[in-house]
Chains A and B, each alone.
Chain A
Amino acid sequence: EDQVTQSPEALRLQEGESSSLNCSYTVSGLRGLFWYRQDPGKGPEFLFTLYSAGEEKEKERLKATLTKKESFLHITAPKPEDSATYLCAVLVNSGGGADGLTFGKGTHLIIQP
């Protein structure tokens, strides 16, 4: 069974304190790994897609990396507005062509001023 596990479940940081969020996956036929940010009561906001081990992508204070077993979302010098739930999702190759995303439970990040 495909599994996506995110850790930690919750993380509280001081403004400017860098850290990393983890997404480990146990899937067969990974086609892509996606990172989203979700604010309370809103839809997920797309951040990154990673397709192959060794790939890295950056956007402002965020950097996503991918290995064969896990992905990290590094947050450098975070600001209070970075507070949100960060969701990791995988797309697997089911052979049928059309697939939805399987999400992890997310990491609830709080950045204190």
Chain B
Amino acid sequence: DTEVTQTPKHLVMGMTNKKSLKCEQHMGHRAMYWYKQKAKKPPELMFVYSYEKLSINESVPSRFSPECPNSSLLNLHLHALQPEDSALYLCASSQDVQVLWAYEQYFGPGTRLTVT
């Protein structure tokens, strides 16, 4: 099973709201990722967690705050977003980041976020 689940599927929020995106995997993977994808563009890396520790933050604004409560869960907390943050937010996981053959990333279906 290579399933990554994400909730909610769709989210509409105002610029003053606080919301969270959730991602879950039960494949025993130790690396998890957040990507942002604008319409007709490729996914862009936001954050990487390896063994529940943040290892990469690609200069993402502080209004995006990631959290990895345990090896199966990944959250993305959203606060004071701008309309240009509207996009598809994708979560992915891979078995490891230290072993090349275990680097294949499996993506969830994404959360379609609209900021009004």
Contact = CB atoms under 8 A, between A and B. Distances in A.
A103 B43 contact: yes
Contact of B103 (A32, A45, A106): A32
A105 B41 CA distance: 6
Sorting the interface of chain B by its residue count into under 10, 10 to 19, 20 to 34 or 35 or more gives 20 to 34
Interface in B28-47: 31, 33, 35, 41-45
Interface string A55-67: 0000000000000
A96 B112 CA distance: 31
A98 B100 contact: no
B104 A34 contact: yes
B110 A42 contact: yes
Contact of B106 (A31, A46, A103): A46
A46 B2 contact: yes
A100 B41 contact: no
B72 interface: no
A35 to B, nearest CB: 11
Interface in A56-110: 87, 89, 91, 96-106
Contacts of B43: 44, 87, 101, 103
Interface stretch (B12-20, B48-56, B61-69, B74-82): B48-56
A45 B107 contact: yes
Interface string B92-109: 100001101101111111
B103 A97 contact: no
Contact of A98 (B41, B44, B97): B97
B21 interface: no
Given A41-B88, A42-B109, A105-B41, A100 B104 contact: no
Interface of A: 31-32, 34, 36, 41-46, 49, 51, 87, 89, 91, 96-106
Interface of B: 2, 4, 31, 33, 35, 41-45, 48, 50, 55-56, 58, 88, 90, 92, 97-98, 100-101, 103-110, 112
12 contacts: A31-B103, A44-B107, A51-B100, A89-B42, A97-B50, A98-B97, A99-B56, A99-B97, A100-B35, A101-B43, A102-B45, A103-B42
